[in-house]
């Protein structure tokens, strides 16, 4: 379900994405071609502050504001691969952050709902997704520890931040046979 991104041309970064996929992801054992292709399509630099864009494809997390970070590329790819997403899946992402993870998931699933507790981050992520022409991601503002029952049930739930225990409501919002990936 790879989509063309709404006219966004990240000039000069295609080779960096290709190197990231080869050197940071495939070389470390990730093998799901759909995930690797999604990581190769989505321009990570679009989701980070302008002053950090030269570091977009380094193997590490980067600050995005409000005390939050965009996850390391390997972490995003590893979690997406672990979720075993199919093209017909409806996915819930807990913790939108910059929107990068949701953008990657948009290439793997039919529909992605993502929830963020910080309104400014949610709004910025929604705008970045819109700019890329990604229209199968729905950004919600709220407490991710409650999940998103009004949009469920989901085939998969991916949680971008670890907690002390798995909230029971996540399991209740999964379809039978659904999957959860949580750090």
Q: pLDDT digit string (tens) for 32-41?
A: 999 999 999 9
Return the ∠ at Cα 106 (arms to 101 and 110), rounded to 5°: 140
Check residue 1 and give its pLDDT. 46
**Opening angle at CA 173, ends 169 and 179, nearest 5:** 105
Q: Given its phi and psi angles, is residue 162 left (phi above 0), alpha (psi -120 to 50 degrees) or beta?
A: beta
pLDDT tens digits for range 45-73: 999 999 999 999 999 999 999 999 999 99
Q: What is the pLDDT of residues 142-168, one digit of tens each?
A: 999 999 999 999 999 999 987 788 899
Tell me how far apart the alpha carbons of residues 149 and 152 are, in angstroms, rounded to a whole number.
Answer: 5
Report the pLDDT value the prediction gives residue 9, as an integer from 0 to 100: 46
Q: How far is CA 96 from each of CA 16, 80, 139, rounded to the nearest angstrom? A: 24, 14, 8
Name the average pLDDT for the chain.
93
Catalytic residue among 37, 71, 98, 106: 71
pLDDT tens string 123-139? 999 999 999 999 999 99
* 106 a catalytic residue: no
Domains and CATH numbers, the chain: 14-178 (3.40.50.150)
Residue 14 pLDDT grade (very low, low, confident, very high; cuts 50, 70, 90)? confident
């Amino acid at each position: 379900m790879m989509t063309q991104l709404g006219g966004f041309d990240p000039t000069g970064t295609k080779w960096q994405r290709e190197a990231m996929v080869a050197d940071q992801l495939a070389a470390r054992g990730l093998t799901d071609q759909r995930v690797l292709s999604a990581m190769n399509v989505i321009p990570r630099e679009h989701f980070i502050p302008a002053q950090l864009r030269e570091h977009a494809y380094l193997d590490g997390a980067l600050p995005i504001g409000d005390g939050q970070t965009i996850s390391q590329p390997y972490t995003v790819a590893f979690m997406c691969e672990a979720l075993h997403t199919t093209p017909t899946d409806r996915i819930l992402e807990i913790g939108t952050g910059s929107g990068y993870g949701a953008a990657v998931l948009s290439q793997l699933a039919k529909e992605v709902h993502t929830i963020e507790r910080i309104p400014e981050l949610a709004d910025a992520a929604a705008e970045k997704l819109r700019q890329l022409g990604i229209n199968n991601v729905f950004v919600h503002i709220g407490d991710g520890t409650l999940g998103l029952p009004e949009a469920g049930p989901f085939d998969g739930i991916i949680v971008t931040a670890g907690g002390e225990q798995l909230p029971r409501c996540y399991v209740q919002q999964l379809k039978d046979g659904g999957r959860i990936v949580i750090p």
